């Protein structure tokens, strides 16, 4: 392992440790801890208006449903998921980054095969 990889690994672990320590914080009721990313309620407005919305996001430790790896779901990524991708506020990341990426690759591959099949069918029919 290079020293950079070791450093990255150590950084990852300390971030994970910090995320675990933040698990008891309730972003709907508690004051934001240092390093929290503030939520934009205008962007969250697509959700149930009667629901109490989070005031901020903090790094969260998640365990991948597929491979069991514990990983940080960074506060900035949560903000992106809920406010830009308009993910439901009651949904959480369930897969680690590498499982998410391989799932995405699988989907792209299935789509490519499907499109190839269509193209072949069209070619056969001379259109």
Find, among 63, 55, 56, 54, the residue nearest to 20 by Cα.
63
In contact, 48 and 73? CB cutoff 8 Å? no
From 22-30, 47-55, 81-89, 96-104, give the range in contact with Zn ion by CB under 5 A.
96-104
Phi and psi of 3, rounded to 5°? Answer: -70, -30
- Smaller CB distance to Zn ion: residue 14 or 69? 69
67 binds Zn ion (CB under 5 A): yes
- Residues numbered 46-65 forming contacts with Zn ion, rule: CB under 5 A: 64
For binding to Zn ion (CB under 5 A), which residues are involved?
Answer: 64, 66-67, 69, 96, 99
């Amino acid at each position: 392992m290079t020293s950079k990889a070791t450093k990255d690994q150590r950084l990852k672990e300390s971030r994970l440790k910090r995320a675990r320590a933040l698990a008891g914080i309730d972003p709907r009721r508690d004051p934001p801890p240092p390093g929290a990313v503030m939520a934009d309620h205008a962007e969250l407005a697509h959700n149930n208006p009667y629901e109490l919305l989070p005031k901020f996001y903090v790094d969260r430790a998640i365990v991948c449903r597929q491979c069991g790896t514990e990983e940080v779901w960074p506060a900035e990524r949560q903000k992106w998921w809920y406010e830009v991708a308009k993910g439901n506020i009651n949904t959480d990341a369930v897969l680690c980054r590498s499982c998410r990426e391989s799932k995405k690759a699988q989907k792209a591959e299935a789509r490519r095969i499907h499109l190839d099949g269509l193209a072949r069918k069209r070619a056969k029919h001379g259109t």
